[in-house]
């Protein structure tokens, strides 16, 4: 599995869980770096900055540049700047996301009446006021996008609710379907990732722990995909899912070990 030019790795559940690296993950990254491979680390999390992810990887022993990390905030910023320049935006999300948007010139709405876009993201303090503001803005014609569709986020003590809960609340209240998603499995993220790596999709391996996001995105973008069994998806999920990875591996360490590998 070391014949690809580019390697895209999910982070949570793939490279680490919580503050601990998954066994063999650091060794695998070092091995690929020694071969001169192009690497990109991709997360759907919006509750931390890319700078903090860079620091976290460094603490684990993985030395990369900020350009090697892609998150939905960056994809969202590019999308708003390209497709909705000057739009007034209401953000359901935590301060880390809001601050990144503000730092990149995104203008925030102060009332539903002036809102052009509603950005729905993971917010661990999500409450009724957020829901009502978004609902009133959508009634008045505001468009809606979401940073990522993840229902849960893997943590050392077990999964916790993620952005999917916020999306569900908005969709259920406003009677709409949010179809424009920035993060995995969105083609917007895939195209951005391929552009950053500077390689063709067929020369990339996308590794992640979620069939419905990581693997689906890689498949739809034309990449090879590797489902790791260190996070959310389990072998039994393969029996019912229409999304099938190229490879199923115990962990990213198998990329280095090239063992216990089966092709589906």
Last residue of a domain, one of 142, 174, 206: 174
157 & 193 share domain? no
Domain count for the chain: 2
Backbone angles phi, psi at 65, to 5 degrees: -100, 165
Last residue of a domain, one of 174, 193, 216: 174
Establish how many alpha carbons lie within 13 A of residue 175's alpha carbon, considering only the half-sphere containing its beta carbon.
2
138: tokens are: 């959508």
The residue range of the domain holding 149 is 73-174
Give the whole-angstrom CA distance, residue 149 versus residue 181: 7
Q: What is the domain-level CATH number for residue 127?
A: 3.40.50.1000
For 47-65, the pLDDT digits (tens) are: 888 999 999 999 999 999 9
204 & 256 share domain? yes
> Do the domain assignments include residue 28?
yes
For 116-165, the pLDDT digits (tens) are: 999 999 999 999 999 999 999 999 999 999 999 888 887 778 888 999 99
> Do the domain assignments include residue 194?
yes
Helices (H), ranges, the chain: 25-34, 50-60, 72-83, 95-103, 128-139, 163-174, 187-197, 216-221, 237-240, 253-257
130 & 202 share domain? no
Asked whether the whole model's pTM tops 0.85, one would answer no
Peptide bond into 46 cis (omega under 30): no
> Do the domain assignments include residue 101?
yes
Query: Residue 68: which residues within 8 A CB-CB, separation 6 or more?
Result: 39, 40, 41
What local confidence, expressed as pLDDT, does residue 155 receive? Answer: 75
> Do the domain assignments include residue 13?
yes
């Amino acid at each position: 599995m070391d014949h690809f030019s580019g390697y895209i790795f999910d982070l949570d559940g793939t490279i680490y869980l919580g503050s601990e690296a998954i066994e063999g993950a650091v060794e695998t990254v070092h091995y690929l770096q020694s071969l001169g491979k192009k690497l990109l680390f991709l997360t759907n999390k919006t509750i931390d900055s890319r700078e903090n992810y860079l620091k976290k990887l460094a603490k684990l022993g993985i030395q990369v540049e900020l350009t090697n990390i892609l998150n939905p905030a960056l994809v969202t910023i590019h999308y708003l700047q390209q497709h909705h320049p000057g739009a007034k935006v209401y953000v359901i999300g935590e301060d880390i996301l809001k601050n990144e948007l503000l730092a990149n010139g995104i203008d925030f709405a102060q009332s539903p009446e002036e809102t052009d876009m509603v950005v729905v993201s993971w917010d661990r303090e999500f409450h009724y006021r957020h829901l009502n503001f978004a609902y009133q803005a959508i009634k008045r014609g505001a468009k809606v996008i979401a940073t990522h569709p993840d229902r849960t986020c893997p943590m050392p003590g077990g999964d916790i609710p993620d952005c999917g809960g916020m999306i569900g609340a908005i969709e259920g209240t406003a009677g709409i379907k949010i179809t424009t998603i920035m993060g995995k499995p969105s083609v917007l993220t895939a195209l951005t990732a391929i552009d950053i790596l500077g390689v063709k999709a067929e020369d990339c391996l996308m590794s992640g722990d979620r069939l419905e996001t990581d693997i689906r995105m890689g498949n739809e973008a034309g990449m090879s995909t590797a489902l790791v069994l260190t996070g959310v998806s389990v072998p039994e999920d393969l029996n019912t899912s229409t999304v099938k990875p190229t490879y199923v591996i115990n962990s990213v360490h198998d990329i280095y070990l090239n063992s216990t590998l089966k092709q589906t």
